[in-house]
Amino acid sequence: MSSNHSVISPSRPEGTKTTVQQGAGSGGTAGIEIVGFPQILYTRSFGDPDILFVPLLDAAREAHTMLERLSGHGEPRADAVRLSGMQLASSLLREPSFSLAARGQAQEHTYTVDLDKGILHMNTRLYAIVSRRTSSFRVEIVGKIAGGTFGVRNPVKDSIIMQVSEERLRQPNVFSSSLAQECLREQLEQERNGRLDESLGPVPSRCVRKKAGNPGTLSTGARRSGWARCRRKSREV
């Protein structure tokens, strides 16, 4: 069986496919919501971001270009959004793996395409190995369809983990390899720093030393040195 999957992009004629190589991703189910489109697009086997993220981003980009072109020619914005969303949905449905599904069903991976705001949002689970143990955690990846930097968020703690370029996300198997490892390391580092700040507690105002160039932020190093100075002063007294 071939290891290649394909998704049709909206600007290409029917029968012409963009080949997407399946890497370390395990496939999995996914739901694609196109804001303004009444149903969810469902795939049973193409849901893994190593397989679907880049083709969906490219297809959404072409649909967004169509939206802006229609708006520029005088089409009402709401109609342009609806027509471009229908075009995106029909282009994906040419691939036999995709079908229409009702909203509200839980999926392993979820994608939301907001053509009006120009945003692509993905919620997925990453797997990383640390100390010979496999850890799994959910992340959200959000960015502009037109291109640029994408933010990786922890949806449980509602915090930013890191930012990553589109070029990086286009690398083969990036979600199941390097990105997962980096996200896990960054979250562990943030948790360690959070526990350290909690153990140190608030620095007394007379011992506060502010970072140069950022008068409203106190670094971890400043906290440590601030407490050291306080302890010395206490001993002197």
Token pair, residue 208, equals: 């506060």
Of 89, 68, 70, the closest CA to residue 9 belongs to 89
Q: What is the pLDDT of residue 195?
A: 63
Four-point Cα dihedral 114, 117, 118, 120, nearest 10: -40
Q: What is the pLDDT of residue 109?
A: 95
Strand order of the β-sheet with 149-154 is: 98-101, 40-43, 30-34, 109-114, 119-130, 133-144, 149-154, 159-165
Environment class of 151 (CB within 10 Å of its CB; exposed 0-12, middle 13-18, buried 19+): middle
Is pTM beyond 0.75 here? no
Q: How many CB atoms lie within 10 A of CB 42?
A: 18
Domains of the chain, residue spans: 4-193, 204-236
Per-residue pLDDT of the chain (237 residues; tens, 9 = 90+): 334 444 444 434 344 344 344 444 457 899 999 999 999 999 998 899 999 999 999 999 999 999 999 999 999 999 999 999 999 999 999 999 999 998 888 889 999 999 999 999 999 999 888 777 778 899 999 999 999 999 999 998 888 999 999 999 999 999 988 899 899 888 888 878 776 555 555 555 554 455 455 544 444 444 444 444 444 544 454
Measured between alpha carbons, how far is residue 7 from residues 34, 120, 217 in Å? Answer: 16, 17, 47
Report the Cα 109 to chain-centroid distance in Å: 11
Non-local (6+) Cβ contacts of 191 within 8 A are none
